[in-house]
Amino acid sequence: MHKNAEGFASRWGVILASVGSAVGMANVWGFPNKLGSNGGGAFLVAYLFFICLFSYVGLPAEFAIGRYAGTGALGSYRAAWSTRSPKLARAGQTLAWLPLAGSMCILIGYAVIVAYVLKALTDSLVGTLMTADASEWFASFSQSSFSVVPFHVVVAVGTMLTLLYGAKSIEKTNKVMMPVFFVIFAVLAVRMALLPGSAEGYRFMFFPRWEALLDPMVWIWAMGQAFFSLSITGSGMIVYGAYLHADEDAVGIAQHTAFFDTVAAMAAALVIIPACFSYGVDVGSGPSLLFVTLPAILQNIPFGQVFAVILYVAMVFAGVSSLQNMFEAVAESVLHRFPKLRRGWVLWGVCAVCLAAGVGMEAISQWGPWMDFVSIYIIPIGATLGAVTWFWIMKKEVILEEVSRGRPKLRREVWYAVGRCLYVPLAIVLCCVALGMKIAF
């Protein structure tokens, strides 16, 4: 197998990089929004179930296949399918273009959202956001063509520049960005706890209405959010697995990643949900939550501008760390497929596609529907293709040998049975439900 010359320097390097990929809009915006729209505490119960399941089988499988193949999605699917028969290698590589295209689709939409966040940060710094009507402020650029192009360029080019040196630069930037992110949200959570009426938000989050668990859609949305939050897309985390050392514990790293990702999601919810209850606003208000609801709240609390700045700084960090994974997933696979290309030129090419498609999206103000399409259809399909490949196509003894490296006490038969008989069917159910929703509406 091809093997990358460079990997992460330490166990915590890969954990922080993986957390950086997982932590992003899925946590800061998606989790509080889905929590608010799907039963509060009941959604949290279902979500935690799926996080435990996916961090035990789904995420370790993506890390393991990436390490086994020593490359990203294209080479990994080819390697997995070839274990069944060398004649199937080309079929696996062809299939891999679908989840890889999914990563590119996520990248395009994410970059626009992070550009909006950078715009919010800039306006917080100069004070514009603290005096404007939040709804009118958001509409002034979200419904206007090419209004955030300069911010979009800064986000895409800036993220690309952090990746020029591969795993080393990903590791170094996330060692700074991720601790800062957690500190900032801890400070904000303490501040929001002091707001009058915030206790109702905690009650909504932590005291489930158990009858809500009888609604199958609560489980479906929780499962989709867990896939999205852990970046299990059938491509993104594979490339980080390629940078793992041979003796690293893939299951342990996956579980550490899931733990810190869940802490980040809860931190975001502990900022947003109590604030929404304190000010009597809808906790399930979607994209406007970050750009209308929160600014309106921040305008009315002491030192609101300071908290606005640190909130949006944290969100920029979260967004860039997620973008790094998507850039790397696409670039590394292309480099593996076309080894004569230079890394810098491939990254510039990915950046150009991201900017061109994103600017086109800005022109028609369709980033919201685009991200809904990605989260409802693209991510489940990619995750399902990966799940079927690892547990039904790849030879059992090969995946078990790889996933148990660094974890000799892994109950291999139990792990494989959970993956094959529970994880894969659930992924297929989510994919079918998503497609069914598309047909119905």
Summarize pLDDT for 374-423 with one digit per residue, the tens: 766 777 788 889 999 999 999 999 999 999 988 888 899 999 999 999 99
Residue 403 lies in a domain: no
Instruction: Kindly give, in sequence order, each residue whose CB lies less than 8 Å from that of residue 310, ignoring residues fewer than 6 positions away.
Output: 184, 187, 188
Instruction: Confirm whether 90 is domain-assigned.
Output: no
**Is 160 contained in some domain?**
yes
Burial of 373 (0-12, 13-18, 19+ CB in 10 A): middle
Provide the pLDDT for residue 30. 77
Let me know: does 418 contact 56? Beta carbons within 8 Å.
yes
Categorize the per-residue pLDDT at 1 as very low, low, confident or very high, splitting at 50, 70 and 90: very low
**Which residue from 283, 274, 280 is spatially nearest to 192, judged by alpha carbons?**
274
The SS3 assignment for 69 reads: helix
Radius of gyration of the chain measured on its C-alpha atoms: 21
CA nearest to 314, candidates 180, 116, 430, 169: 180
Question: Is residue 243 one of the residues assigned to a domain?
Answer: no
Cα→Cα distances 240→167, 170, 268, 406, Å: 8, 10, 25, 16
In this structure, is residue 159 part of a structural domain? yes
Looking at per-residue pLDDT, the higher value among 3 and 25 belongs to: 25
H helix or E strand, kind and range, residue 310 = helix 304-337
Say whether pLDDT at 8 is over 60: no
* CA 9 – CA 172 distance, rounded (Å): 10
pTM of the model: 0.84
Task: Please indicate, yes or no, if residue 286 is contained in any of the structural domains.
Answer: yes
Say what angle helices 149-161 and 89-126 make with each other, to 10 degrees.
Answer: 120
Total of domains in the chain: 1
C-alpha span between 161 and 233 (Å, rounded) = 24
* Residue 305, domain member (yes or no): yes
Region of poorest pLDDT, from 308-312, 352-356, 401-405: 308-312
Residues spanned by the domain of 324: 14-56+98-228+253-379+415-440
